[in-house]
Structure 1
Amino acid sequence: MNLDKKQSQSWKGRTAAFLFGQGISLFGSQLVQMAIIWHVTLETSSGIWVTILTLASFLPQMLISPLAGVWADRYNRKLIMILSDGVIAITTLLLALFMMSGNTGNAVLPVIIIVSAIRSFGAGIHSPAINSALPQIVPEDKLSRINGFNGTIQSIVQFVSPIAAGAIMAIGPIYNILFIDVATAMIGISILSTLKIPKHQPVPKAEKTSALEEMREGFRFTWNNRFLRKLFATYGLYIFLCVPSGFLAALMIKRTFGDNIMFLTVSEVVGFAGSVLAGLLLGATGGFKNRVKTLFLGMLVYGVTSLAIGFTNVFWLFVALMFFIGFTIPFAQTSVYTLVQEKVEPSMMGRVFSLLKVMFSGFMPLGMAIFGPLADVVRIQTMVIVCAVPIILLAMNLRLSRSFYREGIHTPEAVGTGDNQV
């Protein structure tokens, strides 16, 4: 996984350009995500419709990710990122033209769902490639800090995007945001196309294998590694339990504090401000040398904070707690991604990251399928409280599992040689 001397000489410039280009593209995508969620929430005020939209936005990622991981290990990861971003941009452009032609209300909702599903397929193909390509550019001992800075960029984008989305939606139709997304995608693709990313070397095989067999190989590798198996299971359950406090937050705000887009904007901005601060902290320090300790603290604080949110009916206090919710997210995400990048060899990394994507894009829609319809008959705050307790217990389990906790300490010589015993 280590870069050679010649490659490492220019890694900083390439990494900066790579992250900047992806950040620009992410900004447009985040604008669309905010606009669509708010549009559906405000138009329908329905937990069912929010659930359908969420499933359309994440289930396709889960379905395509295992195959996308094989592609990321087989083929040129840079080309995969360019093509997937291009398809997303074209699909978004078609939705903008459809809405611009005068289609509104219930007529546009099914089209939004379809477009969200196609965008999700593109994101599922893009994600394993980008996470696997980063270690091809960045020296191994810098991965945690670069992941922290990458998290900062994402948090800044997420901090700015709700402000921008709220302002644009206040002064004009939603399709203006869709056109912005197309433009930012083109900028991101242009920057990426100019970068030279070292090619990864797939493991030589005695005979040609099918994509299905390579998918199975990636699953077996992850399942037989006790550390990765527990890491993925913990992360998946954590995502599932975060659904009420995270993905139903907009609906909770509308029902608790009123039908005001300003409330949605302020809550999103403050939450992402917490993410920005945490990302900067991780980028500057790299977090704890023990990555599991970073994960433990992130999950623990999230659980305690979401428990408090469940009892809150005062908006300013709710917003303050959302800041701490946002602060914890980079701790969990950065530590998980860094652990995978440090412990998995490059030839297998695309498939392992695809399984990580499956954990997110599978457990989150599962949570929405359960908690979304329940939100129409049960107070969301009640569900938040019920889910906060097991999040805290999950975090404590990480700390009390001594062997797992010790393996979180970064040891470069152990990369790719994790415990593969069942």
Structure 2
Amino acid sequence: MTIKTSEKWKSKTLLFLISQCITLFGSSLVQFAIIWYVTFETSSGIWMTVLTLCSYLPQMLISFFAGVWTDRFNRKMLINIADAVIALASLFLALFVLSGNQEKYILIGIVVVSVIRSLGAGVQTPAVNAMLPQLVPEDKLMKINGINSSVQSMVQFAAPLAAGTILELGSIDGILFIDVGTAMIGIFVLCLLKIPEHNEVGIQRNSSLIGDVKAGISYIIRNKFIGRTLMIYGFFIFLSVPSGFLTALMIERLFGASYLYLSLNEMAGFAGMMLGGLFIGVWGGFKNRCKSLAFGVLFYGGFAVCLGLSKAFLLFTAFMFLISFSIPFVQSASMTILQEKVEQEMQGRVFSFMNIMFCGCMPLGMAVFGPLADLIPIDSMMITTGSVLFIFAILIFLSKRYYQQGMYIEKNQ
């Protein structure tokens, strides 16, 4: 009897989510601290682009192989190793800052550490996503994905306030040491979770690494529904860059350089994601997963336009809340489609390609919109990309063949 068909799946899932939320809190503190530090020290779209490329491009590259490792090896071990590497990178940067180096060298150190942290995240992400279907019954995946999104957003809701407070009272090294501590706790909690190895999924351990990567690519090309879902997800990430990842720069230019404004903006965003995820967790989404996905893209696009039109900070944060409320619809629906439709032996590789779409389209978006942010107003880019997403969502509804394949079909457990 597997974990997900026994009565223990709820407690196992809870322990797993707790371990990931603990490490997420420390990582989120570092993420905000690094972005805000670079924003205030440089006020440059180019620097933000460099930081984004170093944070996501290595993750994209290693994901090609991380998916195979996820299908071959113990997923819990991979998650813990990745957490440990990320924690060591934070420790290195903290000691580097404390050594009294000049500002330009600290910025270089941040770039180097961002690369290391990105590599660790590239290994961890597909392993986490592939482990959930091992723990959770298939008919509960949409709800658990929604709850997971809500709990993560709850953790991240507190992170910007904590990061802003620590930065106002101290410096970035304090946050880095906290990240090391949360990683150690998260690793310990995950070690308490016992999960049998997934040897039964049928991966050929004697096959070559490159051969398994090619097999994953071939699978996605053959399965047009899966491939199209990944393309929709990547397109969404690319066009969400101005409204999702350049807001700190817009706030600094439009409302002034204030940790309070940045904290309130991030809190509004994560509050929206938290309640949106909770809503999905309680409701479970539409039985047609593509319908949930399309509505998520539709609402995001519409609210992105409103966000770009906002000139008062309170109105800006209100639309930031609403735009973020729609994100769990996109994330949970995309994740659930892959968890339900992809065979177990391919899930690690498919989820690695989902991570590749995120880590590839994000830097691509920053490479396009980041430099443009130094030439044209960010609010104009938000209005344009939001309008395109709104139209794109309508096209998903009109694509009958793809839309009909998103229906959840209950299977015997």
The TM tier, using the shorter chain, reads over 0.9
* The one of 68, 71, 76 aligned to 1:70: 68
For residues 163-198 of structure 1, the C-alpha deviation after alignment (integer angstroms, 9 at most, x for no partner) is 100011010011100000000000110011111113
2:263 aligned partner: 265
1:331 aligned partner: 329
1:369 aligned partner: 367
How is 1:357-396 mapped onto 2 (pairs within 5 angstroms)?
A: 357-396=355-394
Q: Distance in 1 between matches of 2:219 and 2:320?
A: 37
Q: Distance in 1 between matches of 2:395 and 2:3?
A: 41
- Give the fraction of aligned pairs with identical amino acids, expressed as a percent: 51
Q: Distance in 2 between matches of 1:244 and 1:414?
A: 44
SS of residue matched to 1:309: helix
Q: Distance in 2 between matches of 1:123 and 1:411?
A: 32
* The one of 142, 145, 148 aligned to 1:147: 145
1:165 aligned partner: 163
Asked if the contact 1:343–1:414 (Cα under 8 Å) also holds between the matched residues in 2, the reply is: no
Asked if the contact 1:73–1:202 (Cα under 8 Å) also holds between the matched residues in 2, the reply is: no
Q: Distance in 1 between matches of 2:31 and 2:3?
A: 41
1:284 aligned partner: 282
CA shift at 1:330, angstroms?
A: 0.8
2:294 aligned partner: 296
* The one of 17, 22, 34 aligned to 2:32: 34
CA shift at 1:5, angstroms?
A: 7.6
Q: Distance in 2 between matches of 1:51 and 1:207?
A: 39
Q: Distance in 2 between matches of 1:80 and 1:131?
A: 12
Q: Distance in 2 between matches of 1:303 and 1:255?
A: 23
Q: Distance in 2 between matches of 1:377 and 1:182?
A: 39
Q: Distance in 2 between matches of 1:395 and 1:234?
A: 10
CA shift at 1:205, angstroms?
A: 6.6
Q: Distance in 1 between matches of 2:361 and 2:227?
A: 15
Name the aligned partner's letter for residue 348 of structure 1. Answer: M
Asked if the contact 1:234–1:394 (Cα under 8 Å) also holds between the matched residues in 2, the reply is: no
Asked if the contact 1:22–1:188 (Cα under 8 Å) also holds between the matched residues in 2, the reply is: yes
Q: Distance in 1 between matches of 2:328 and 2:237?
A: 13
For residues 186-219 of structure 1, the C-alpha deviation after alignment (integer angstroms, 9 at most, x for no partner) is 0110011111113213554779321111001011
How is 1:6-405 mapped onto 2 (pairs within 5 angstroms)?
A: 7-201=5-199, 203-204=201-202, 208-405=206-403
Q: Distance in 2 between matches of 1:5 and 1:360?
A: 30
**Could you say if the C-alpha distance between residues 227 and 256 of structure 1 is closer, same or farther in structure 2, counting changes exceeding 3 Å?**
same
Asked if the contact 2:3–2:135 (Cα under 8 Å) also holds between the matched residues in 1, the reply is: no
Name the aligned partner's letter for residue 17 of structure 1. Answer: L
CA shift at 1:398, angstroms?
A: 1.1
Asked if the contact 2:300–2:326 (Cα under 8 Å) also holds between the matched residues in 1, the reply is: yes
Asked if the contact 1:96–1:175 (Cα under 8 Å) also holds between the matched residues in 2, the reply is: yes
Asked if the contact 2:4–2:135 (Cα under 8 Å) also holds between the matched residues in 1, the reply is: no
Q: Distance in 2 between matches of 1:258 and 1:225?
A: 49
TM-align CA RMSD = 1.6
Q: Distance in 2 between matches of 1:400 and 1:215?
A: 33
**Could you say if the C-alpha distance between residues 8 and 73 of structure 1 is closer, same or farther in structure 2, counting changes exceeding 3 Å?**
same
Asked if the contact 1:27–1:184 (Cα under 8 Å) also holds between the matched residues in 2, the reply is: yes
Name the aligned partner's letter for residue 101 of structure 1. Answer: S
Asked if the contact 1:8–1:139 (Cα under 8 Å) also holds between the matched residues in 2, the reply is: no
Give the TM-score normalised by structure 2.
0.97
Give the TM-score normalised by structure 1.
0.95
Q: Distance in 2 between matches of 1:77 and 1:270?
A: 33
Q: Distance in 1 between matches of 2:104 and 2:12?
A: 45
Bigger mean CA deviation after superposition, 87-96 or 308-317: 308-317
SS of residue matched to 1:12: helix
Q: Distance in 2 between matches of 1:138 and 1:349?
A: 14
Name the aligned partner's letter for residue 194 of structure 1. Answer: L
Asked if the contact 1:200–1:346 (Cα under 8 Å) also holds between the matched residues in 2, the reply is: no
SS of residue matched to 1:310: helix
SS of residue matched to 2:176: helix
For residues 130-167 of structure 1, the C-alpha deviation after alignment (integer angstroms, 9 at most, x for no partner) is 11011111111111111111101111011110010001
Q: What runs of 5+ residues in structure 1 fail to find an aligned partner? A: 416-422
1:420 aligned partner: none
**Could you say if the C-alpha distance between residues 5 and 264 of structure 1 is closer, same or farther in structure 2, counting changes exceeding 3 Å?**
closer
Name the aligned partner's letter for residue 217 of structure 1. Answer: A
Asked if the contact 1:288–1:294 (Cα under 8 Å) also holds between the matched residues in 2, the reply is: yes
Q: Distance in 2 between matches of 1:295 and 1:367?
A: 21
Asked if the contact 2:202–2:345 (Cα under 8 Å) also holds between the matched residues in 1, the reply is: no
Asked if the contact 1:93–1:179 (Cα under 8 Å) also holds between the matched residues in 2, the reply is: yes
Q: What runs of 5+ residues in structure 2 fail to find an aligned partner? A: none
CA shift at 1:382, angstroms?
A: 1.2
CA shift at 1:414, angstroms?
A: 10
SS of residue matched to 1:108: helix
Q: Distance in 1 between matches of 2:377 and 2:354?
A: 31
